[in-house]
């Protein structure tokens, strides 16, 4: 943990809440990261003190608690990558510029998503899984297309219910169990998947069930598209660090006390879908094939700063 300035319990609690957060999407997690960073800066009394070492320790704490969430790493990289002197003053100034950068990225992604939907005329049947703030926002904003949604409930936390409740205010919506994806895949035109991380080989980390959904879509000749911005590119993967898919509490899957040694329960929130299952990725960098996205994102994001954490 941070050593020059004793970490207040409030910040430790915020980091713990970030670790245990089960429902927030990438946008919300970025906001939480910013709140923690700002709270930490307000503990610094001398605005000109060099806090580089402490900031790096805080950064490690933040991206290690959510290793599947690339946006946390890239949010921290926005503040770290081009600074020569790390002080409360320089970091607060960078905090002021971040909303404009996020707005630029969001506008670019919105433009790409609208261009994508312009390909389709009339009724469009779409299958979704879990809860993606980005996908929901852009689908709700669209007034041209007549959507029907088939939404997987997304066990174990059933985030798909929340998605269905929101989209059903505007569009015909069917909430289905995860295991029914094969039954309903023939009814859909396309599958849209959110993104938690894009790995160096173009594979995508997303809510568990995304991989079998992509497999079933491919078996039925249904195109799968991923949706997310360039902050989803995972720098840990870029530098060949192992990506850990965390095990979550087993009581969410099986609430009884386990009495048999050979009885094992697994609760994973994420899986990894290989890049060949995706027709294109819709992002702030455009509507691109995965190789095109990888080439472009490596030119766009600052990458070198993360070497300090290897």
Q: Is residue 273 part of a domain?
A: yes
Q: What is the pLDDT of residues 56-114, one digit of tens each?
A: 999 998 988 887 789 999 999 999 999 888 999 999 999 999 999 999 999 999 999 99
Question: How many CB atoms within 10 Å of residue 20?
Answer: 10
Q: Are 151 and 175 in contact (CB under 8 A)?
A: yes
Same domain, 125 and 199: yes
Non-local CB neighbours of 142 within 8 Å, separated by 6+ positions: 114, 117
What is the residue range of 291's domain?
119-309
Q: What is the pLDDT of residues 230-268, one digit of tens each?
A: 999 999 999 999 888 878 899 999 999 999 999 999 999
pLDDT at residue 7 is higher than 80 = no
Tokens 């050979």 belong to residue: 262
Question: 180 to each of 151, 152, 166, 168, 176, how far by Cα in Å?
Answer: 10, 8, 21, 19, 6
Same domain, 234 and 127: yes
Q: How confident is the model at residue 170 (pLDDT cuts 50, 70, 90)?
A: very high
* The pairing of beta strand 204-207 with beta strand 270-273: antiparallel
Q: What is the pLDDT of residues 106-153, one digit of tens each?
A: 999 999 999 999 999 889 999 999 999 999 999 998 878 899 999 999
Same domain, 259 and 124: yes
Q: Is residue 114 part of a domain?
A: no
Last residue of a domain, one of 52, 75, 107: 107
Q: What is the pLDDT of residues 184-215, one digit of tens each?
A: 999 999 999 999 999 999 999 999 999 999 99
Considering just the CA atoms, what is the radius of gyration of the chain in Å? 20
Q: Is residue 127 part of a domain?
A: yes
Give the per-residue pLDDT at 2.
47
């Amino acid at each position: 943990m941070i050593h020059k300035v004793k970490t207040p319990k409030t910040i430790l609690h915020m980091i713990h809440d970030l670790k245990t957060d089960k429902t927030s999407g990438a946008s919300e997690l970025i906001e939480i990261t910013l709140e923690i960073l700002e709270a930490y800066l307000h503990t610094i009394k001398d605005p000109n003190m060099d806090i580089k070492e402490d900031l790096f320790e805080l950064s490690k704490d933040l991206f290690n608690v959510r290793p599947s969430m690339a946006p946390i790493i890239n949010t921290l990289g926005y503040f770290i990558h081009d600074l020569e002197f790390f002080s409360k003053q320089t970091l607060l100034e960078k905090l002021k510029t971040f909303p404009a950068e996020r707005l630029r990225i969001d506008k670019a992604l919105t433009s790409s998503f609208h261009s994508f939907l312009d390909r389709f005329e009339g009724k469009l049947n779409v299958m979704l899984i879990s809860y993606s703030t980005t996908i929901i926002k852009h689908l709700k904003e669209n007034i041209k297309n007549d959507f029907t949604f088939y939404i997987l409930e997304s066990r174990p936390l059933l985030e798909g219910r929340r998605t269905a409740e929101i989209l059903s205010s505007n569009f015909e919506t069917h909430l289905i169990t995860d295991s029914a994806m094969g039954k309903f895949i023939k009814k859909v035109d396309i599958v849209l998947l959110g993104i938690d991380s894009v790995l160096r080989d173009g594979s995508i980390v997303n809510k568990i069930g995304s991989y079998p959904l992509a497999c079933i879509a491919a078996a039925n000749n249904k195109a799968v598209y991923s949706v997310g911005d360039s902050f989803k590119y995972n720098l840990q993967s870029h530098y060949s660090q192992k990506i850990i898919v965390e095990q979550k509490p087993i009581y969410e899957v099986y609430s009884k006390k386990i009495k048999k040694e050979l009885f094992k329960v697994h609760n994973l929130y994420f899986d990894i879908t290989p890049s060949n299952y995706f027709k294109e990725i819709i992002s702030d960098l455009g509507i691109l094939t995965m190789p095109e996205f990888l080439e472009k994102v490596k030119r766009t994001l600052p990458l070198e700063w993360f070497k300090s954490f290897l």
